[in-house]
């Protein structure tokens, strides 16, 4: 399944309508994610006590978007970093993810109205692949919900859901 960002300009208009700042993203194809830039977002995993904090910043004059995240309250420390970019050869918004446990992945993002859909091919430190997908739904300019699933035996199984809230101030890790 290929998820492509077909019209970044239209998506930018949708996100601008909910008050999303451009936050210095010069790459127009990143516009659907502009509301995230320059802020940290935190949420608690549904049914669990662990929290996930993501901080988004423009990189290299706004040509890329960096997302650094850390999970707190888990049995073992876990963090990761995404770098979102436009892939001109594939004509899609793409990303590379690096995890603190040694895993990594490559994926794509598709924007549709107030929804971002992520398609991900993850490889664990043990070399085992995992196909993932997630959907982020923008609730308003200060909240979004996220749901992640993994493919197992031809069926999609829910991994987690989180409702993220924009954090104010500089008290969040970057």
In this predicted structure, the answer to whether residue 12 has a pLDDT above a threshold of 60 is no
Least confident of 12-16, 52-56, 74-78, 98-102: 12-16
- Domain extents in the chain: 8-167
**pTM (2 decimals)?**
0.83
Name which CATH class applies to 8-167: mainly beta
Query: What pLDDT score was predicted for residue 14?
Result: 34
Mean residue pLDDT of the chain comes to 86
Q: Which pLDDT tens digit goes with each residue over 116-155?
A: 999 999 999 999 999 999 999 999 999 999 999 999 999 9
What is the secondary structure of the chain as a DSSP string? -------HHHHHHHHHHTT---TT---GGGGGGGGGTT-EEEEEBTTSS-EEEEEEEEEGGGTEEEEEEEEESSSS-EEEEEEEEEETTTTEEEEEEEETTS-EEEEEEEEETTEEEEEEEEE-TTS-EEEEEEEEEEEETTEEEEEEEEEETTEEEEEEEEEEEEEPSS-S--
């Amino acid at each position: 399944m290929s998820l492509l960002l077909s019209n970044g300009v239209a998506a930018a208009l949708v996100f601008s309508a909910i008050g999303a700042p451009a936050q210095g993203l010069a790459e127009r194809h990143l516009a659907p994610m502009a509301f995230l830039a320059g802020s940290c977002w935190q949420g608690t995993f549904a049914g669990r006590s662990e929290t996930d904090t993501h901080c988004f910043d423009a990189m290299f004059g706004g040509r890329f978007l960096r997302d650094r995240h850390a999970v707190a309250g888990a049995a073992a420390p876990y963090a990761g970093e995404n770098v979102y970019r436009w892939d001109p050869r594939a004509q899609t918004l793409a990303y590379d993810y690096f995890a603190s446990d040694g895993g990594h992945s490559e994926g794509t993002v598709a924007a549709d109205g107030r929804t971002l859909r992520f398609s991900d091919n993850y490889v664990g430190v043990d070399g085992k692949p995992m196909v993932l997908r997630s959907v982020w739904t923008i609730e308003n300019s200060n909240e979004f919900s996220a749901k992640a699933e993994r493919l197992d035996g031809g069926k999609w199984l829910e991994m987690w859901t989180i409702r993220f809230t924009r954090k104010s101030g500089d008290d969040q890790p970057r």
